[in-house]
Amino acid sequence: MGKGKVISFLNMKGGVGKTTLCKDLSFFLADTLGLKVLVIDIDPQSNCTQSFYEKYQSKAFDRDGHGNQILKRDIPSIHNLYDSSVTSPSTTDVILELTENLHIIPGDLQIVFMERNTNSANEQKLALSINKWRLKEKYDLILIDCPPTYSFYTTAALLASDYYFIPAKPDLYSVLGLNMLTNVVKQFVEVDQALALHGRNIKCIGIVITMSSDSPGMSKRIADIRDFAASKDIHIFEKTLPYYEKLLTGRMDTFIADRDDVKLEEIIRSIASEFIERIEILDEQQIVN
Ligand SMILES: Nc1ncnc2c1ncn2[C@@H]1O[C@H](COP(=O)(O)OP(=O)(O)OP(=O)(O)O)[C@@H](O)[C@H]1O
Ligand SMILES: [Mg+2]
């Protein structure tokens, strides 16, 4: 791959697998494929961050006198990017190195409280910092886990993104949600943020279907999503991530690539290679245009 790319994991519907795919793809791409990956957790729920903290406990926690885990003082956080009391934050205020290949800008519930005094300067801070710190030269992929809202956080993520990726769970309302999502991004690119984006387009890598099963009702919902994607010229990933009870009930620190499950590992491997392939195809189109 050429210069690093920034990809937002986006769907305004909650609980569709954004965080699961963001953390599991990041881990697989870094740990198994050896790419340099930065995860940015811009969701104040910080689920992605919690999973990585549980997995790499020594990077995140100290022990108090009673042996209890406490979050390290001064741990890097996305909050330091936006906190006006931190003057010109540096990468060490913001980026936590989990392994040589896998780094994270941890999410922080505190950023919920700054949403009220957001302004366009704040919305652009993430994008500007990625440029200022030359993060696209340092990482092959920068993956942003977004919350299920259209808000300051998604605006900040999209302003920093080259591409977006949509996990979609088939149900009665998925097509309505996907339609809204693509319209919102279109409006964002063409109208709301046209100036800030300097004419840059943000393309969709594709939709990956999540939490699917073999039931006939489900096939209908999946067919609806495929029809929608075809009508909007959006790529649909060949592999789906089916419903697996153990992903719902599993421990926070367990990643798909860690499980001794050949089938699940094959799924994440296949989604990861299609993910890279799609980025390469879209990169080439960008050059041609
Ligand atoms: N393929 C799957 N099969 C079963 N459960 C899954 C699957 N993928 C994710 N889950 C579980 O479903 C729940 C929601 O997934 P996840 O947190 O990834 O969604 P999300 O889109 O990030 O949610 P939110 O919009 O709240 O951020 C989690 O408990 C997760 O473990
Ligand atoms: Mg999430």
CATH number of 5-42+123-288: 3.40.50.300
Q: Kindly give the confidence (pLDDT) of every residue in the chain, 289 residues in length, as a single tens digit, with 9 standing for 90 and above.
A: 568 999 999 999 999 999 999 999 999 999 999 999 999 999 999 999 999 999 999 999 999 889 899 999 999 999 999 988 888 999 999 999 999 999 999 999 888 777 666 677 889 999 999 999 999 999 999 999 999 999 999 999 999 999 999 999 999 999 999 999 999 999 999 999 999 998 899 999 999 999 999 998 899 999 999 999 999 999 999 999 999 999 999 899 899 988 899 999 999 999 999 999 999 999 998 776 6
Whole-angstrom CA distances from 104 to 30, 48, 91, 109 are 12, 10, 11, 16
Are 153 and 42 within 8 A, CB to CB?
A: yes
Q: Which of 21, 248, 264 to mutate to test the pocket of ligand 1 (most atoms within 8 A of CB)?
A: 248
78's tokens: 């996305």
CA 22 to ligand 1: nearest atom: 18
Task: Name the residue with the closest Cα to ligand 1, atom 9.
Answer: 17
What is the Cα–Cα distance from 209 to 188, expressed in whole angstroms?
A: 24
**H or E segment at 105?**
strand 102-105
Q: pLDDT tens digits for 239-262?
A: 999 999 999 998 998 999 888 999
Backbone angles phi, psi at 13, to 5 degrees: -85, 140
- Could you give the strand order of the β-sheet that contains 203-212, starting from the edge strand earlier in sequence? 96-97, 102-105, 37-41, 141-145, 5-9, 163-168, 203-212, 241-242
- Stated as kind and residue range, the H or E segment containing 61 is strand 61-63
Distance 219 CA to ligand 1 centre (A): 20
- Helix (H) / strand (E) element for 273: namely helix 262-288
Q: What angle do CA 279, 280, 283 make, to 5 degrees?
A: 85
Residues 211 and 17 sit within 8 Å (Cβ to Cβ): yes
Cβ of 210 less than 6 Å from ligand 1: yes
Q: Are 182 and 232 in contact (CB under 8 A)?
A: yes
